[in-house]
Chain A
Amino acid sequence: MNPAMNSAVSTINAGMAPVATPWFFYVLAGLAVASGVAVITRRNAVHAALALIVTLLSVAGLYLMLYAPFVAGVQIIVYAGGIMVLFLFVIMLVNIERSSKERQFNRMWPVGLAAACALMALFVSAIAKGNKLFPDRGMTLPESSNTQQIAALLYGEAGKMGQYTFAFEIASLLLLVAILGAVIMTKKKI
């Protein structure tokens, strides 16, 4: 999201007090990028995990600015609150002293760099051609009913099947299979 779009948000939303000012966007984006860089540059795994938490929280802030409070809330609960706690739980059992002195044995960094550059080029071109690719249709900002709209898409309105019910159920079945797989792999005798 660029600042031009930001001002568009506040003009469309003229009825309400402008909450999503560009200032917030720059702070959150800067925080996300800075802590994202810290994630891959810190040798200490716990520091990297803490930086990743900051990244996830600032991305949650960006979701809030995009008038998607439900996604932001889920981001905080699932990623920052759940997954990162488990990450830290595992990392804490690693001997940080030894692992931080270990030399990098994986020689894949040129491939990673090329992939990152390609992704960057894609983003830059998308932003440069932004107006042609994504025509401005006049955004609707369903902040107050965001949660209800997601529910309507997933489960459908009263008496009607939701658009994504099948995909949602399949995804939850996949997660269930993954959970069972984890249990079976860790427990020899069930």
Chain B
Amino acid sequence: MLNAFMSYLGSTVTPGEAGNQFWALIYVLIIFAGVSLAVICMNWLERKALAHFQIRLGPMRVGPHGLLQPIADALKLMLKEDIIPSEADQFVFWVAPLIGLLAAFTVYTVIPFGPSQAVSDMNIGILFMLGVSSLGVLGIVVAGWASNSHYPLIGALRSSAQMVSYEVAMGLVVVSAILMTSLNASGTGTLSMIGIVQAQQQQGIWFIFKFFPLGFIAFAIFAIAMVAETNRAPFDMAEAESELTAGFHTEYSGLRWSLFMLAEYAAMIAVSSIAVTLWLGGWMRPFPNLLHAPAWEFIFSLFPGLTFAGLAAIAVIGTARMPAHSFFKIQRMGLAVFAALLGFIALFLLVIAVAGRSADTSVAARFREGIDYVYWFVLKVAVFMYLFIWYRATWPRYRFDQLMKIGWKVMLPISLGVLVLTAIVGVIFS
């Protein structure tokens, strides 16, 4: 056991490649906990941000500024009665949320948080990700059918038609990004997620800026298709509440319903990480080839600590601005503790950044590197998660025929054109 634990520490490949099941399990557990935590944060942020977009306050009662609201929600969902309609197909009704959840979480095995910070690096990484995330639609379809009710069935039909349509455009632009990985001396591209980021590192450019409008158009198509793939507004036809009550999960309640929500948010994070890996340079910090002096390296490595310090400062300001009434005493104390916690994390990260600033192979330096990789990757994904909320607050829902028209008559031809042009330009300029 101790041997298995120690033998991986000096390694520079993922646990999957090193064949170390023990560390692979640890990574899986870390990712599972991290994603669940991210979903909780996202839940709070979405309610707060949507409220502020609409000039409301949002959750304010449970904890300071509603910070404990997701925990209260989770408790409520777990204690709520779990109803299975008597006319429903019991087994399929039971298994449907698990299909969605499994598909959403399996994808995380190949997401590269860093050159060695992934569970495994598969030769077919991006293919695996697209394949497994396309299985997620099965959960929705099957849930809608098993409910044996009209609104869920219509929601499921809409969702399957929508996902199958947008997968086509999505697949084509992914191929155009993979084509770009083959523009090197040997002319061999790669499907491995880590390999795709390394290709961007070697070519010294994020693929979003490659062949200027082409990479950007491909990225934009993917960014639109991924909103449709995850059934989020403005493409949330499968659960359009003004038309279908709640769409495919109308009959679901309690824990089973929350599993659907967990799967949806996990899938959102997963597709955002595909976009980050393919077009936004994955774990790379901004300008690694322009500002590569050790001083710049050090300044950029301070970013994780400074981010948490900023969050802590916001929490401190919130504590100071809390009303003086005795009713807010406990909330104020809670926010102060939260600020202190964030401050400690910031301090820890800054100490690591200072201790590991030399580019040697000491434990502190490697730890600092790992934190940097994960930080930049998560930051880029977080921008996408905010965009998801922003879309939802800004755009009205599409009509279904408009959605299909855009998918097949606009996005598909554009993505085909981008693919062909990328191939032509790649042949000319390499």
Contacts and interface: CB of A to CB of B under 8 A. Distances in A.
Interface of A: 16-17, 19, 44, 46-47, 50, 53, 69-70, 72-74, 76-77, 80-82, 84-86, 88-89, 92-93, 143-148, 158
Given A17-B19, A73-B131, A50 B142 contact: yes
Nearest to B164: A85
Contact of A147 (B123, B132, B145, B161): B123
Contacts of B145: 46, 88, 92
B160 A88 contact: yes
A89 B131 contact: no
A147 B195 CA distance: 14
A50 B163 CA distance: 18
A85 B137 contact: yes
A89 B92 CA distance: 15
Contacts of B135: 76, 80-81
A143 to B, nearest CB: 7
17 contacts: A16-B19, A17-B19, A19-B19, A47-B92, A50-B95, A69-B123, A72-B124, A73-B124, A76-B132, A82-B134, A85-B134, A88-B142, A88-B160, A92-B145, A92-B156, A144-B123, A147-B191
Nearest to A89: B160
Nearest to A92: B145
Interface string B126-150: 0110111011011001101100000
B124 A147 contact: yes
B187 interface: yes
A46 B122 contact: no
Interface residues of B, number: 32
A148 B127 CA distance: 14
Given A85-B164, A144-B123, 14 more contacts: A47-B92, A50-B92, A50-B142, A69-B124, A73-B128, A80-B135, A81-B134, A82-B167, A85-B160, A88-B138, A89-B161, A146-B123, A147-B124, A148-B188
A76 B123 CA distance: 15
Contacts of A146: 123
A145 B186 CA distance: 14
B78 interface: no
The 3 A-B pairs of least Cβ separation, nearest first, read: A17-B19, A81-B134, A76-B131
B243 interface: no
B309 interface: no
Contact of A92 (B95, B124, B130, B153): B153
A74 B127 contact: yes
A88 B141 contact: yes
Contacts of B187: 158
Contacts of A82: 134, 164, 167
